[in-house]
Chain A
Amino acid sequence: MSSPANDSQRARSAGQRFLRRFLQQRLALGCLGFLVLLTLAAVFAPWVAPYDPLQQDLDRVLESPSRDHWFGTDELGRDVLSRTLFAARVSLLAAAQAVLIAIAIGVPPGLVAGLWGGRVDGLIMRATDALMSFPPLILAVALIAVLGPSLTNAMIAIGILLSPTFLRLMRATTMAVAQETYVEAARSIGCTQGWIIRKHVLPNVVSPLFVQISVFAGVAMLAEAGLSFLGLGAQPPDSSWGAMVGRGFRYLSLAPSLIVFPGLAIAITVLALYVVGDGLRDSLGREIRRES
């Protein structure tokens, strides 16, 4: 139930209300701050990192954390902290790539399926079901097997894997919006199909999609880390956090710090992405959020 607000009170747009609610969530805001700092650190890694990540020091291999090397050194005596910072570039960029690929593959057919329904929808959903019936990592492994191991190929594979989720989300929200009376009302006054999609459907479906992006970035990052851990993602000399853990595997009992820090980096970053995603979702007003 809404009430006639005070005359002095300015009406707020959905965006303004969203922002206001988001700013009230301290934890999500903190996590967003962390992600911004991390991105800055990754971008400016050459200036921030204490060492050259490729500089070897064979006198000081597999060292535990110390004042010189906060995260210790690896099997070639390279500084793990510097390597972790540089690897952040690869991990973040890879996650972003995968999400963009997933959106590009998943959103347009989802929109079409939701709007048109009927046979087109049936066809698209059959294909999606088929894609979703593959155990995700096994499909990724198979794709990389034929495309060859590389970070780009890994991200294409993950993008393909994530795309059905975007497709389904897009389809579900579009369908729900398309069934709203206001869309019928728009038809009744003589709006064209194009107008209805532009003016009524799209504005009401983008926000549920938008709030999911950060969660999916987390999922993509985990998937990339897994593939790189197996040696199917980032290839030397490039290194992502997952690849660092993969190489550190061999020195598990000798130098646990080799895997502890990059692993923590993944966990914390993904956690931050999830918390931000939850915060964004909770900031959507009841008027936009769909009661499921």
Chain B
Amino acid sequence: MTAAAPILSVERLSVEFLTDRGWATVVDDVSFDVARGETLGLVGESGSGKTVTSLAIMQLVPMPPGRFSGGRILFEGTDLVELPEKGLQRVRGNEIAMVFQESMTSLNPAFTIGDQIAEAVRVHRGIGRRPALDRAVEVLDLVGIPSPRERVHAYPHEFSGGMRQRAAIAMALACEPKLLIADEPTTALDVTVQAQVLTLLRELQQRFGMAMLFITHNLGVVADICDRVAVMYAGQIVEVAGVDALFQAPGHPYTEGLLQAMPQLGRRGEPLAVVPGVPPMPWAMPAGCRFHPRCAYAEPACTAGPPKLDTTRPGQASRCARSASITLRGSD
């Protein structure tokens, strides 16, 4: 796909969770690459496994109730699954940083913004309190917080939602990571603030040449910020494609369903497109293709065996047995 070696390579990752009904596979055989400097979107509905995938990369899946059941996560050639905790601590926040959805709860209410940014710098750079705080002021300025020298002493509850998310981004950027994982970073924000944050992320990424794994359920946001997209359904990746290809000519019926369901694309006075039914529960996955009970193109063969994620066109892969024989509608 990309010429240079990818910075992150997730290979056949599987994660299980203990539920009331036993072990359930919530991330199943997931593989994808993130190239240096690119933004890969990870898209899916709630419960599709996209957040668990991102936490698994950081080795932050709560265990118990979770556990790894297979796969490798290669970051610059090092398998993070095998890395001992000490090594992981050197990677987290330094080489790979993360921004979460809820800036209200993901910042510690008991410490100042500056303290929380500075501590990451101190841990990874081994510098003193003063220079670390100066660095905090620097990154707060970078993310567009006005009068950072004063604001560095503010507590999270003294910031607005948009400012908190900027602060969270500043915290992630403080050590100039090579990869930023952003888990629904704009979902809790108003649209005008979302536009600010997306613009900010785009600018910072270009400036630092950082790679980004952007997790979202919003296809509009995907169109705005991603270079390539991986679509997840029921714990599996069902399609990987360049962002233009995905929107013009999706390769999987589920992607088509998601695109068509965008209300912007509906016509007034006509029913909105829906994917019938609901996603399956992890303990009751359908046999064969997991999407077949909801798929308009399903045929008996789809229940036969699980389809593989096959390359259909250059740069595009789809987990659909019928991808060669059907033509799907894009968003145009």
Using CB atoms and an 8 Å cutoff, list the residues of chain A in contact with chain B.
1, 3
Confirm or deny: B272 has a beta carbon within 8 angstroms of a beta carbon on chain A: no
Q: Mark B22-48, 1 if CB is under 8 A from A, else 0.
A: 000000000000000000000000010
Confirm or deny: B154 has a beta carbon within 8 angstroms of a beta carbon on chain A: no
Which of chain A's residues have a CB closer than 8 A to the CB of B47? 1
Q: List 3 A-B contacts (CB under 8 A).
A: A1-B47, A3-B281, A3-B284
Q: Closest 3 A-B residue pairs measured CB to CB?
A: A3-B281, A1-B47, A3-B284
CB distance from A187 to the nearest CB of B (A): 29
CA–CA, A1 to B47, complex, Å? 10
Which of chain B's residues have a CB closer than 8 A to the CB of A3? 281, 284
CB distance from A12 to the nearest CB of B (A): 14
**Interface SS, B side:** loop
Which of chain A's residues have a CB closer than 8 A to the CB of B281? 3
Which of chain A's residues have a CB closer than 8 A to the CB of B284? 3
Q: Mark B279-290, 1 if CB is under 8 A from A, else 0.
A: 001001000000
Question: For residue A3, which residue of chain B has the nearest CB?
Answer: B281
CA–CA, A3 to B19, complex, Å? 13
Q: Mark B103-147, 1 if CB is under 8 A from A, else 0.
A: 000000000000000000000000000000000000000000000
Which of chain B's residues have a CB closer than 8 A to the CB of A1? 47
CB distance from B58 to the nearest CB of A (A): 24
CA–CA, A1 to B284, complex, Å? 14
CB distance from A2 to the nearest CB of B (A): 10
CB distance from B281 to the nearest CB of A (A): 5
Question: For residue A1, which residue of chain B has the nearest CB?
Answer: B47
B127-185 interface with A by 8 A CB criterion? none
CA–CA, A3 to B282, complex, Å? 11
Question: For residue B281, which residue of chain A has the nearest CB?
Answer: A3
CB distance from A118 to the nearest CB of B (A): 26
CA–CA, A196 to B281, complex, Å? 36
CB distance from B45 to the nearest CB of A (A): 12
Question: For residue A2, which residue of chain B has the nearest CB?
Answer: B281
B273-303 interface with A by 8 A CB criterion? 281, 284
Question: For residue B47, which residue of chain A has the nearest CB?
Answer: A1
CA–CA, A3 to B285, complex, Å? 13
CB distance from B21 to the nearest CB of A (A): 10
Question: For residue A4, which residue of chain B has the nearest CB?
Answer: B278
CB distance from A1 to the nearest CB of B (A): 7
CB distance from B273 to the nearest CB of A (A): 23
CA–CA, A138 to B182, complex, Å? 57
Question: For residue B278, which residue of chain A has the nearest CB?
Answer: A4
B233-277 interface with A by 8 A CB criterion? none
Question: For residue B21, which residue of chain A has the nearest CB?
Answer: A3
CB distance from A271 to the nearest CB of B (A): 28
CB distance from B248 to the nearest CB of A (A): 34
CA–CA, A226 to B274, complex, Å? 68
CA–CA, A281 to B225, complex, Å? 48
CA–CA, A3 to B281, complex, Å? 8
CB distance from A20 to the nearest CB of B (A): 13
Question: For residue B280, which residue of chain A has the nearest CB?
Answer: A3
CA–CA, A286 to B319, complex, Å? 37
Question: For residue B284, which residue of chain A has the nearest CB?
Answer: A3
CA–CA, A3 to B284, complex, Å? 11
CA–CA, A3 to B277, complex, Å? 12
Q: Mark B188-206, 1 if CB is under 8 A from A, else 0.
A: 0000000000000000000
CA–CA, A3 to B280, complex, Å? 9
CA–CA, A1 to B281, complex, Å? 10
CA–CA, A95 to B178, complex, Å? 65
CB distance from A282 to the nearest CB of B (A): 15
CB distance from A7 to the nearest CB of B (A): 14
CA–CA, A1 to B17, complex, Å? 14
CB distance from A220 to the nearest CB of B (A): 37
CA–CA, A17 to B281, complex, Å? 22
CA–CA, A1 to B46, complex, Å? 11
